Structures are given as C-alpha cells and as structure tokens.
C-alpha cells in the first residue's frame, strides 16, 4: 500500500491535490504564476539596485580622485547626483559606521562633510 503524503502550497497554504506530480510544489497554476511573478520582480529590483550601486560607486571613484581620504563637503556628492540611501552594507572603519558601496565606503557627518575610504 502506498503511503499518503500531505503537502501544502507555500503560497496559499492550501492542500496540494494527491493527483499532482510528486515534485509539484504549488496547488494550482495561479499559485505557480504568482510565485513566478514575485521572483521575477525581486530579480529586477536587485538588478536595478546593483546598477544604481555601480553608478554611485563610480561617483565615489571620481570624488576620491579629487579629495582622496580627506573630508569634503556633501555638496560635492549632491552636485553629482549621489544617492545617499543606496549602499550594500554598513561596515565599521576606524571605529565609525560607514556605508559600503562596491570599492568605496563613506560616512556623512552631521556637519555636512563626507569622509570617503577606498576598500
């Protein structure tokens, strides 16, 4: 006698019919299509973030060529269209919480100056 295995859909938590293939994860085509669209949207979002991160890293590269690791006015970044809230992670450099880009990390101080580090 074949053992009966109860499986649930990860999208709607509905019961997956017994007549569905054993490898089937979703209870219906609607749940499958929904998951596929969510995964595609997340992939596009990640691509957009990576592209923006690359762009602002290039801005940091240009500014580093001008100022090196010396503090400079935040207006230098602002004039170049820098996006402050896009970064890959927060890291600690010289006991300071800095926002990491790709090749650079920066911190914006309360006096509107920026310190830039090359990683």
Asked if residue 65 belongs to a domain, the reply is yes
Predicted local confidence at residue 17, as pLDDT:
87
Predicted local confidence at residue 59, as pLDDT:
96
Asked if residue 95 belongs to a domain, the reply is yes
Asked if residue 18 belongs to a domain, the reply is no
Asked if residue 1 belongs to a domain, the reply is no
Contact in structure between 105 and 91 (CB atoms under 8 Å): yes
Asked if residue 19 belongs to a domain, the reply is no
Domain interval for residue 63: 29-118
Predicted local confidence at residue 2, as pLDDT:
65
Asked if residue 16 belongs to a domain, the reply is no
- The secondary structure of 16-36 as a DSSP string is PPTTS-TT---SSHHHHHHHH
Asked if residue 81 belongs to a domain, the reply is yes
Residue 90: which residues within 8 A CB-CB, separation 6 or more? 97, 98, 99, 100
pLDDT along the chain (119 residues), means of 10: 80 88 88 91 91 95 95 95 92 95 95 95
């Amino acid at each position: 006698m074949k053992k009966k295995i109860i499986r649930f859909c990860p999208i709607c938590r509905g019961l997956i019919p017994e007549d569905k293939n054993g490898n089937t994860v979703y209870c219906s085509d609607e749940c499958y299509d929904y998951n596929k669209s969510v995964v595609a949207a997340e992939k596009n979002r990640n691509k957009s973030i990576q592209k923006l991160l690359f762009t602002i890293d290039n801005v940091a590269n240009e500014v580093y060529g001008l100022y090196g690791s010396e503090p400079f006015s935040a207006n230098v970044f602002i004039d170049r269209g820098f996006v402050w809230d896009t970064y890959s992670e927060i890291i600690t450099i010289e006991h300071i919480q800095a926002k990491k880009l790709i090749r650079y990390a920066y911190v914006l101080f309360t006096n509107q100056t920026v310190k830039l580090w090359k990683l």
